Chains A and B, each alone.
Chain A
Amino acid sequence: MTMQAWIEETLARALPGAVVRVTDTTGGGDHFEVDVLASQFVGLGMLEQHRLVYAALGDKVGYEIHALGLRTRVP
């Protein structure tokens, strides 16, 4: 499974019903743009929204996932 697929599946599982779009920005499997639209973000500030995503991705962030451009939105 590619890292891109792993991110998509992991976020879909952690945020049921979310619309997740992952782009591998270099094709190298470690620089990604991630756009997440999730009802779980409603009422949360950007910081908390991003923390939810980072928590789901766990300790891969900053390591196997070297660069992560993140955009969180509410429906």
Chain B
Amino acid sequence: MSRDVQAEIDQLVKANPVVLFMKGTPSFPMCGFSAQTSSILQACGVPYETVNVLADPDLREGVKLYGSWPTIPQLYVGGKLVGGCDITRELYQRGELEPMIKAAAAPPA
């Protein structure tokens, strides 16, 4: 049965309020942009799911198609693409990222 990567990604981003597709892991990031993005999420103090695309080449290409975004890392909050490292950093600096993440991570009222 061939793999449906797009469905897998869709399930991942819908099942977790905050998902970061990155190169490596938060403790062993393999790229500067991925390291920066995960440390920003760390600073927000809310649990987040990470996916190491280096461990899964199909997923690495699949997520570029899924988000129509050509680079990694990719941050998804509430099932929607927020952006890569630049946008995540800019939103964080403007104080917009933390409330967005906390709202997505909050249990439905």
Q: Are B32 and A61 in contact (CB under 8 A)?
A: no
Chain A residues closer than 8 Å to B81, beta-carbon distance? 47
Q: Which of B64, B72, B82, B86 contacts A69 (CB 8 A)?
A: B86
Return the chain A residue nearest B61 by Cβ: A62
Would you call A13 an interface residue if the criterion is a C-beta within 8 Å of the partner chain's C-beta atoms? no
Chain A residues closer than 8 Å to B2, beta-carbon distance? none
A-B contact count (CB 8 A): 34
Q: Are A46 and B71 in contact (CB under 8 A)?
A: no
* Closest 4 pairs between A and B when the two form their complex, measured CB to CB: A61-B70, A46-B87, A70-B86, A62-B70
Q: Are A71 and B70 in contact (CB under 8 A)?
A: no
Q: Main SS of the interface on chain B? A: mixed
- Expressed in whole angstroms, the Cα–Cα distance for A54 and B83 within the complex equals 12
5 contacts between A and B (CB under 8 A): A47-B81, A50-B83, A62-B64, A62-B71, A69-B85
Give min CB distance, A41 to chain B, whole Å.
13
Known: A46-B90, A47-B87, A71-B86. Contact between A54 and B33, CB under 8 A? Answer: no
- Expressed in whole angstroms, the Cα–Cα distance for A50 and B86 within the complex equals 10
